[in-house]
Amino acid sequence: MISSRPHPYPGRFITFEGIDGAGKSTHIDYVTTLLETKNRKVIVTREPGGTGLGEKLRELLLHENMHPETEALLMFAARKEHLEQVIEPAIKRGDWVISDRFTDASFAYQGGGRGLERDKLRQLEHWVHPHLQPDMTFLFDVSPEIAQARLKDARSPDKFEREKAVFFNRVRTEYLHRAGEFPDRFRIIDSSLSIKSIRDILKELIGNLG
């Protein structure tokens, strides 16, 4: 069981992170079903997005070129709406929230990938959610080469998915740096493992959350 809480609410907040093609989305349905068999009410959401405004901003963020600082500001603007409308009301009620990405993605993509200073991102993080972090973050770690091979036959790629391996190496490095900063929260999962092996790991980790 987790001994300390990263927020004051009775519910749980779980985030899934990883570079594009890491396979995190494949396992969200599994974890949701697993929790529902334990009679948990689960809210599944995503970033950018999760609200009406957030989904509109998502279209801009994924398909329009913009300055890295503009990109970061829009990400956190969408996140503020997400927190106010979806995440905090749910965990206040005692529900479990699963989000496909959260603030760690901003550090990885806008920080590591785009080169935006960490201090600027920390200021935005402190401004938007100073009192709240996920209870647990699953970081699906895999090499950019494997990730891009998985994406090659996917739908029409967005602007992030079209980036080169060097970009995703920087993103991956920043994710791992972030995990090193918050080892109590992060669980790094080798995404090159079989689906069954990953599900076994997830089942054990979810059990530890209570």
| Domain spans of the chain, in order of start | 12-208
Rounded to an integer, the average pLDDT of 60-89 is 98
Instruction: Decide if domain 12-208 falls under CATH 3.40.50.300.
Output: yes
The pLDDT of residue 155 is 65
Determine if residue 24 is labeled as part of a ligand binding site. Answer: yes
Strands 12-17 and 96-100: parallel
Is 19 annotated in a binding site? The answer is yes
Annotated binding residue 100: no
The response to whether 25 counts as a known ligand-binding position is yes
Any binding-site annotation on 20?
A: yes
Beta-ladder partners of 139: 17, 188
23 is an annotated ligand-binding site residue:
yes
180 assigned ligand-binding residue: no
pLDDT digits (tens, 9 = 90+) for 92-136: 999 999 999 999 999 999 999 999 999 999 999 999 999 999 999
As a three-state string, the secondary structure of 9-75 is CCCEEEEEECCCCCCHHHHHHHHHHHHHHCCCCEEEEECCCCCHHHHHHHHHHHHCCCCHHHHHHHH
- Rounded Cα distance, 2 and 184, in Å: 9
- Asked if residue 7 has pLDDT above 80, the reply is yes
Please give the radius of gyration of the chain, using alpha carbons only, rounded to the nearest integer: 16
According to the annotation, is 22 in a ligand binding site?
Answer: yes
Give the pTM.
0.93
